Amino acid sequence: KSFLYRLWKGNVSSKMLNPRLQKAMKDYLTTNKHRVRFRGKRNSRLTREQLLCELRDRVTVKTLDGKEAPFSDLGWEKHVPQAPLSKLYPQGLGSCAVVMSAGAILNSSLGEEIDSHDAVLRFNSAPTHGYERDVGNKTTMRIINSQILTNPNHHFIDSSLYKDVILVAWDPAPYSANLHMWYKKPDYNLFTPYIQHRRKNPNQPFYILHPKFIWQLWDIIQENTKEKIQPNPPSSGFIGILIMMSLCREVHVYEYIPSVRQTDLCHYHELYYDAACTLGAYHPLLYEKLLVQRMNQGIRDDLYRKGKVILPGFRAISC
Ligand code: C5P
């Protein structure tokens, strides 16, 4: 059976990846850059329902509120938005779309379906202009990594991609989630551009994810995986799925688990080919996908043809 077919069935292991990706994964385990010390147990065999309940009970979307040092000493409380992300929609959102940036979404004609959702989440610099037929043009929220804020090529300050949307930024912190260490040595210094942006655009909701939230997600992926996963933060895609599960009644995820259009084309908007974009090297992406596959409540045909997974929001499940 093909790798794709096995992925749809949730029946793959890292041993089936190409040797280059396997080597990269091994190297990340050896390096352990973020000093991960996992204290839990691996391979807990939860059912779909148990897994959803576990996520609902343990995952709290946490953003920096400026109340903890060193941010409190730097006066961040007056810089961060008054309402935390979790309180932005007091009634909650209805149906939400999470649009992955995978090349496989090209020629999908999913744009209209995506725009029909109440809210649409996109990632990093993924454009809609020129790709409307396949990815739609509505954007409610964007998750951006710290490179977007710091790399001048992305024109974070003036690009329209980052205007009129809710922004959620993140950066890998040590597993200990020691905020002092993180502030001194972020992967990319997102703190300065964040404050500058807040000063200039005080009415735009813009958050930085708390490292505790990110590593909490990592723990859950590892607990539910037999193999040792890369000791690096989950991908923006997985982070986004969990944020939307906490805000929406139902979450439709597009081209995370690849459709029949699967390709090594990394992004739909860029001519760059690398299987690592879909299967992971730095991020524990393959394991994230296996976990999401286990929670899918959509139909088989949607997965194969649209690359679509349907997940219930935390509000919609009873435990
Ligand atoms: O590459 P980037 O992080 O901007 O893409 C957003 C997310 O989309 C990734 O974090 C990953 O979860 C997902 N993705 C994917 N397959 C690809 C490209 C992106 O699953 N080929």
Closest ligand 1 atom to Cα of 265: 21
Complex confidence, ipTM: 0.99
Find the domain containing 150 and state its range: 3-316
* Ligand 1 centre distance from Cα of residue 278 (Å): 7
Atom 9 of ligand 1, nearest CA residue: 237
DSSP string over 14-41: GGGS-HHHHHHHHHHHHH-TT-----S-
Does the beta carbon of 125 lie inside 6 Å of ligand 1? Answer: no
φ/ψ of residue 47, rounded to 5 = -75, 170
Closest ligand 1 atom to Cα of 237: 12
pLDDT of residue 173: 98
Does the beta carbon of 236 lie inside 6 Å of ligand 1? Answer: yes
* Ligand 1 centre distance from Cα of residue 177 (Å): 24
Measured CA to CA, the distance from residue 313 to residue 236 in angstroms comes to: 18
Helix (H, G, I), strand (E, B) or coil at 86: helix
Mean pLDDT on 14-19: 97
Q: Which of 242, 152, 143 is nearest to 188 (CA)?
A: 152
* Ligand 1 centre distance from Cα of residue 290 (Å): 15
266's CB contacts (< 8 A; 6+ apart) are 102, 103, 272, 273, 274, 277, 278
Measured CA to CA, the distance from residue 270 to residue 181 in angstroms comes to: 35
Q: What angle do CA 27, 28, 34 make, to 5 degrees?
A: 145
pLDDT band (50, 70, 90) for residue 140? very high
* Ligand 1 centre distance from Cα of residue 122 (Å): 10
* Ligand 1 centre distance from Cα of residue 100 (Å): 6
pLDDT band (50, 70, 90) for residue 125? very high
Helix (H, G, I), strand (E, B) or coil at 162: helix
Percent of the chain with pLDDT over 70: 100
Ligand 1 pocket, mutate which of 21, 99, 100 (most atoms under 8 A from CB): 100
Q: Given phi > 0 = left and psi -120 to 50 = alpha, else beta, which region is 228?
A: beta
Helix (H, G, I), strand (E, B) or coil at 4: helix
Mean pLDDT on 102-111: 98
**Ranges of H-type helices in 59-172:** 111-115, 132-135, 146-150
What is the longest distance spanned by two Cα atoms in the chain?
Answer: 57
Q: Given phi > 0 = left and psi -120 to 50 = alpha, else beta, which region is 26?
A: alpha
* Ligand 1 centre distance from Cα of residue 160 (Å): 21
Whole-number mean pLDDT of the chain? Answer: 97
Alpha-carbon dihedral angle through residues 87, 88, 92, 98, given to the nearest 10 degrees:
-120
pLDDT tens string 22-56: 999 999 999 999 999 999 999 888 999 999 999 99
Does the beta carbon of 240 lie inside 6 Å of ligand 1? Answer: no
Closest ligand 1 atom to Cα of 283: 10
CA 216 to chain centre: 13
Does the beta carbon of 100 lie inside 6 Å of ligand 1? Answer: yes
pLDDT of residue 228: 97
pLDDT tens string 177-217: 999 999 999 999 999 999 999 999 999 999 999 999 999 99
pLDDT of residue 137: 98
Number of domains observed in the structure of the chain: 1
Measured CA to CA, the distance from residue 149 to residue 208 in angstroms comes to: 12
Q: For the domain that residue 270 is a member of, what is the CATH number?
A: 3.90.1480.20
Q: Which residues pair with 145 in a beta bridge?
A: 170
Closest ligand 1 atom to Cα of 285: 12
* Ligand 1 centre distance from Cα of residue 266 (Å): 8
